[in-house]
Amino acid sequence: MITVPSSFHKAAFGQVIVPIVRMYVSFDKELQTSDFFTLDKSHLNGHDLLKSSAIDNPAQNWDFYLYKDYSDRLVNANWERRLEFPYQIQCGMADFTFDNTDGYFTPLSPNSPIGESNLPARPFRMYAGFNNHIQILPQMVGLTTGLPDLNNGSRTVDYHGIDFLYDICNHTLRNIVDMRDVTTDQVIAAILEDYGLAPSQYQLAKGRYTIPFVFFDIGEDAGDALKQLVQSENGYMWLDEKGVVRFETVSSINSDTDIEAKLTDYDIMSLQPGTINDIVNHVRITAEIREVQEWQEVYTKSESRETVSDSLWVVRPGETLEMSCNLSDPCYDIVAPTQGKASSVSWFTAIDQSMHDVTDGVKATGRLTSNAYIVTFENTHAYAVEINEMKLWGEPAKVYDVINYDAYDDLSVEEYGEQLLEISDNQFFQTYYQADMYAKSIIAQRKTYGRNITAQIKGDFAFQLMDQIEIETSTKEYDGIYRIMGISYSYNGKQLVTNLDLGNGTVIKDGVFTLNVSHLDGEDLIQ
Amino acid sequence: MITLTIQDAQDIISFDTILSSPIILTPIINETDVETIDGNISTYYGSTKRQYQFKIAWLDATTYAKIIGFRDRQYANLKYPRISITGATNINVSDMVAKITVSEQEVVDKCGTVENVVLTFRESKQMP
């Protein structure tokens, strides 16, 4: 819950409610200041920007753009934030419609002052509050997608936007992420920095688990990586309303006694139970546990015995040859081979067309991928050479154990049939304890029908994901404590429709020592 | 005497004597009532705008054409005209931006006189 005075909640749940939504867009992506950080002049943590080649990076600069207020043109706005099951990463989206009577937003229109800037990926900020309250709260920061849809009949224009975390999840890695013995937050930080975020733009709780080996190749999907990491921690990741990426582990989730709001009959328009598909009563997790080994031989190219073959590694005079060497295990590191046989390091040998040894003049460089080592040979001679033998030494991450975890709730299976959640693609589950914590939480939250409900309520813009709320109605049908797993708002100038996706509030923290909850000398572990 | 003045960037017209018929004021309240599960209601309120309607018995062809000019220019120039109403107790309209709507044209003689003209002015805001 965003901290606001009680009068804000009163305005949200009152008799006559006057919501207001403010919409700001930076079409031209102009920066607030043209000042760049100058030594002996600028102040640390001041307003000056660090000049970089990524100055046009909307992610890094979202705080520094000049946003223009288009609220007066806003016809309607829909926005939602949601934690996607079973990964628990927020997905934020917004649709907003502007009055376009004068062609202001029509791309390429001579009447449009923003014509040439009316392009995809324009940063926007959305705020909401209540007319009789001074406080207006940030709701979303993100980027528009695509070009606007023109509605010529109604003379309006529709924009679709996604929050920055959604964009981060859609990006593919530009650099290799190769780490060992790191905590989850360190890996997440590496992925966020690959996207272009500065450390000031994210706040990550320290991961509970150490990952022995991580390797993400260039081009791999950042979203998949983040989902797996967050899931293995049973944590949560979201972009807060101010635009800071947040990651929390289960340890930092509020204890069950912290109720942020109580909703009663006069706050709720309708309550709907979820579907049978929301039930999970059986969790199966399969994961390989890898550990980085000592330096050892990881690839061998045996001495070639043929004289003419397409499979020969022939480097033409003055040219290069790139070969992909498939690895049986991913490697943390491999040393580039040098010319001439050697022990305990990578090496290669070369021969000329007369089968005589070539002892110099061939250089090799290499690049590691998730399942191969790409080696490039450069031949400086004026004659062709053949790379006839090679050994690569590296630090392979070998499987030393396999987790086959299986948990289910007998009673629920009997009542609703087996509702299985199978996870076999997440290699960040590194211990049975980790799998157990995750599975127990999921089953506790989802084993019975009605533990997940959708509530249409009077909207309170201070609500945040994972807030714990209590439903207390006269029918008592769905009374209980829930966590907000999704919030959607729809505003059209004369009505605000707010829907909450509410999940069962149970969070299994067994074994995690929590201040003011756990007992000293009890069973919980201090991390 | 009640005077209605319509003006835009290109023209201005005032009616001083012909507004003997009633002026209908319709408040347009942007609101939605929602019913909570206990059967009570709450109201989401956005804004209140005014709408004035004049029912004019007849207009000569020239005046009618001028009014049609205001209506058409709001589409051509992408700006609504402004109206003022003076001389009526409890009606205080000064330089109000309003969309103008004109009823169908009932021509009743060779001079082009139009009968039963209904002018509707719906308050709005002016685009910058």
Question: What type of residue sits at position A217?
Answer: D
Contacts of A106 in chain B (CB under 8 A): none
DSSP for A18-51, please give it.
Answer: -EEEEEEE-SS--BS---B--TTTSPTTSSPBPP
State how far Cα B110 lies from the chain centre: 28
Contact B45 A17 (CB under 8 A): yes
| Distance, CA of A283 to CA of A405 (rounded, Å) | 8
The CATH number that domain B3-31+45-123 falls under is 2.40.30
B31–chain A nearest CA distance, Å: 5
Contacts of B40 in chain A (CB under 8 A): 266
Instruction: Identify which of A99, A266, A495 has the shortest CB distance to residue B40.
Output: A266
Contact B36 A266 (CB under 8 A): yes
| A105-126 per-position pLDDT tens digit | 998 888 789 988 899 989 999 9
CA distances from A3 to A38, A90, A464 (A): 36, 21, 10
Interface probe, candidates A71, A266, A267, A491, chain B, greatest B C-beta count within 10 A? A266
A152–chain B nearest CA distance, Å: 14
B27–chain A nearest CA distance, Å: 15
| Distance, CA of A248 to CA of A256 (rounded, Å) | 16
What's the angle, vertex CA B79, arms to CA B78 and CA B85, rounded to 5?
Answer: 155
Question: What type of residue sits at position A179?
Answer: M
B59–chain A nearest CA distance, Å: 31
| Distance, CA of A288 to CA of A286 (rounded, Å) | 7
| Distance, CA of A296 to CA of A341 (rounded, Å) | 15
Contacts of B37 in chain A (CB under 8 A): 265, 268-271, 473, 475
User: For residue A262, which of A517, A3, A9 has the smallest C-alpha distance?
Assistant: A9
| Distance, CA of B45 to CA of A496 (rounded, Å) | 9
Contacts of A267 in chain B (CB under 8 A): 36
CA distances from A70 to A113, B78, B128 (A): 13, 18, 11
What's the angle, vertex CA A214, arms to CA A213 and CA A217, rounded to 5?
Answer: 140
Count Cβ–Cβ pairs < 8 Å, chain A vs chain B: 60
Evaluate whether B112 touches B118 at the Cβ level (below 8 Å). no
Interface probe, candidates B29, B35, B36, B125, chain A, greatest A C-beta count within 10 A? B36
* φ and ψ of A414, to 5 deg: -65, -40
Structure tokens at B11: 């023209």
Contact B34 A458 (CB under 8 A): yes
Q: Which helix (H) or strand (E) holds A457?
A: strand A453-457
Evaluate whether B6 touches B13 at the Cβ level (below 8 Å). yes
> What pLDDT tens digit does each residue of chain A (527 aa) get?
888 999 999 999 999 999 999 999 999 888 876 455 455 555 554 444 444 444 445 555 677 789 999 999 999 999 999 888 888 888 889 999 999 988 899 988 887 899 888 999 899 999 999 987 778 999 998 999 989 999 988 789 999 999 888 888 888 999 989 898 999 999 999 999 998 888 888 999 999 899 988 989 889 999 999 999 999 998 889 887 777 898 988 777 666 567 889 999 999 999 998 888 889 999 999 999 888 999 999 999 988 766 666 678 999 999 999 999 999 999 999 999 999 999 999 999 999 888 899 999 999 999 998 889 999 999 999 999 999 999 999 999 999 889 999 999 999 999 999 999 999 989 899 888 889 989 988 998 888 887 889 999 999 999 988 889 999 999 999 998 898 999 999 999 889 999 999 987 666 665 543 443 434 444 444 43
Alpha helices by DSSP H, listed for A447-480, are: none
Contact B37 A473 (CB under 8 A): yes
For A267, nearest residue in chain B (alpha carbons) = B36
What angle, 0 to 180 degrees and rounded to 10, lies between the N-to-C axes of helices A222-233 and A432-446?
A: 90
| A9-23 per-position pLDDT tens digit | 999 999 999 999 999
Contact A267 B36 (CB under 8 A): yes
Listed by start position, the domains of chain B span: 3-31+45-123
According to DSSP, the residues that pair with B82 across neighbouring strands are B7, B97
- Who's near A59: CB < 8 A, 6+ residues apart? A164, A167, A168, A195, A196, A197, A201
